């Protein structure tokens, strides 16, 4: 009997490592399989139903437009940008449903813990855990540059999109009624990792637009949401010169007031403010003053108006249209654009499939059909033609 009892205890002890291992595997499956989707669903939302009343006339106009949106963060998340998803705001089927001809896809490489619009340091990073949880290549776990190169690889592999790198690519896209285009951008050039030569690396990977800063000050410049909120550094000035020489669009979104002022004096080509709002209709920390809007317009550039509450003070097409009207009334229709910030940890009024609601809101604000054509995409096309390399 004693031997039998001892045998049973030994067998139990032998089973425990297998039980622990099985539980560890189950926990890993749940973490890596479910956590990324849960995380995205918690931050990328659509206010209400996300659907708004659109008249037949507005829909018919919308269907004739060439539409370009200056900012989405879709590549940050673990889902196929070519397949319709039950979460987030952007994928290829929804872009086609919304008649979006060109979508700018941004590479987000680092965000601070407890991120806010007022003041953030650059000593923490939320994206590392997300990169691991999404089973990205290990090279992306500790390198901001490699994160952007991975995002570019994902977009190059998405054969349903026509990747725009040159003005010739843009012309080819516009000549193909069935095609949907993608242009690669960067949200904060901290991914240069302090090396000017990495501008060339990112350009060769396909990037054609880049913001100088994101939610914290970096080696190039002060952020609107940083601790110091200073202006351009000598390195930042060198980067802008290199970007313009290569044919990359300079994006001033998230830049501090000092950085915006100094960059506007330095640039020689049109710049964009890819996503945000204006203080005149929504007085939040991240939005542009009228003086800054005038400065961007003076370069021939455009202001991309966002779809979320911190940009326009209400996640509705009507609030977006009001901000677009202010830019039009201040500096002219040639400087108005869409900057949705889809998939950017935002709650928006519409996803890509229901973008016609913005066309309706612009009509309701008194925009003419010609003005709507420019605001919904024509102005972005003009800026890209003036900035991208010819071939």
Q: Is 15 exposed, middle or buried (0-12, 13-18, 19+ CB in 10 A)?
A: exposed
CA distances to 163, 180, 378 from 67, in Å = 16, 10, 7
State the distance between the two ends of the chain, measured CA to CA, in whole angstroms: 86
DSSP 376: I
Give, in degrees to the nearest 5, the angle at Cα 141 between 137 and 142.
Answer: 135
Assigned token pair, 84: 């319709």
Tens place of pLDDT per residue across the chain (391 aa): 555 556 556 655 656 554 544 444 434 444 455 566 688 888 999 998 788 999 999 999 999 999 999 999 999 999 999 999 999 999 999 999 999 999 999 999 999 999 999 999 999 999 999 999 999 999 999 999 999 999 999 999 999 999 999 999 999 999 999 999 999 999 999 999 999 999 999 999 999 999 999 999 999 999 999 999 999 999 999 999 999 999 999 999 999 999 999 999 999 999 999 999 999 999 999 999 999 999 999 999 999 999 999 999 999 999 999 999 999 999 999 999 999 999 999 999 999 999 999 999 999 999 999 999 999 999 999 999 999 999 8
Number of domains present in the structure of the chain: 1
The conformation of residue 189, written as its DSSP 8-state character, comes to: G
CA distance 133 to 136: 8
Domain membership flag for residue 62: yes
The H or E element spanning position 245 is helix 234-246
Exposure string for 26-44, b = 16+ CB within 10 A, e = fewer: eeeeeeeeeebbebbeeeb
Q: Is residue 159 part of a domain?
A: yes
Residue 11 lies in a domain: no
What is the CATH classification number for the domain harbouring 179? 3.20.20.140
Distances from the Cα of 388 to the Cα of 97, 172, 249, 250, 380, angstroms: 28, 14, 7, 11, 12
Tokens representing 223 are 């952020």
Q: Could you count the other beta carbons within 10 Å of the beta carbon of residue 219?
A: 17
> How far apart, in whole angstroms, are the C-alpha atoms of residue 189 and residue 345?
19
Q: Is residue 35 part of a domain?
A: no
**Strand ranges, E, within 132-240:** 161-163, 180-187, 207-211
CA atoms within 13 A on the CB side of 319: 23
Q: Count of alpha carbons within 13 Å of 205, Cβ hemisphere only?
A: 24
Residue 273 lies in a domain: yes
Residue 219 lies in a domain: yes
Specify if 157 maps to a domain. Answer: yes
Strand partners, 32: none
Q: Where are the beta strands (DSSP E) in 188-331?
A: 207-211, 249-251, 272-276, 302-305
* Residue at 4 is within a domain: no
Range of the domain at 334: 44-387
């Amino acid at each position: 009997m004693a031997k039998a009892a001892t045998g049973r205890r030994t067998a139990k002890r032998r089973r425990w490592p297998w039980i622990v291992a099985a539980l560890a595997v189950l926990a890993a499956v749940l973490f890596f399989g479910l956590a990324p989707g849960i995380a995205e669903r918690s931050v990328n939302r659509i206010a209400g139903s996300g659907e708004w009343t659109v008249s037949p006339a507005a829909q018919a106009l919308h269907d004739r437009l060439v539409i370009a949106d200056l900012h989405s963060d879709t590549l940050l998340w673990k889902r196929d940008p070519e397949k319709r998803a039950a979460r987030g705001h952007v994928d290829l089927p929804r872009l086609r449903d919304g008649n979006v001809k060109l979508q700018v896809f941004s590479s987000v490489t680092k965000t601070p813990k407890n991120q806010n619009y007022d003041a953030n340091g650059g000593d923490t990073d939320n994206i590392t855990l997300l990169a691991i949880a999404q089973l990205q290549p290990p090279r992306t776990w500790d390198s901001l540059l490699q994160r952007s190169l991975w995002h570019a690889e994902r977009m190059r592999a998405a054969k349903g999109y026509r990747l725009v790198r040159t003005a010739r690519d843009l012309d080819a896209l516009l000549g193909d009624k069935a095609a949907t285009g993608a242009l690669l951008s960067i949200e904060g050039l901290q991914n240069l990792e302090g090396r000017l030569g990495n501008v060339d690396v990112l350009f060769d990977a396909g990037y054609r637009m880049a913001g100088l800063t994101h939610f914290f000050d970096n080696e190039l410049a002060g952020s609107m949401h940083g601790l110091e909120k200073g202006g351009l550094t000598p390195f930042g000035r060198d980067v802008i010169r290199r970007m313009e020489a290569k044919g990359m669009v300079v994006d001033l979104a998230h830049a501090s007031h000092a950085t915006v002022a100094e960059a506007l004096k330095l640039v020689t080509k049109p710049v964009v403010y890819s996503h945000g709002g204006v203080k005149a209709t929504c007085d939040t920390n991240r939005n542009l003053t009228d003086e800054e809007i005038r400065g961007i317009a003076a370069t021939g550039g455009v202001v991309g108006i966002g779809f979320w509450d911190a940009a326009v003070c209400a996640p509705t097409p009507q609030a977006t249209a009001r901000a677009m009207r202010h830019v039009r009334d201040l500096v002219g229709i040639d400087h108005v654009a869409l900057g949705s910030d889809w998939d950017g940890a935002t709650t928006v009024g519409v996803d890509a499939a229901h973008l016609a609601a913005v066309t309706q809101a612009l009509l309701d604000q008194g925009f003419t059909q010609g003005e709507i054509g420019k605001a919904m995409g024509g102005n972005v096309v003009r800026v890209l033609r003036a900035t991208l390399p010819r071939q």
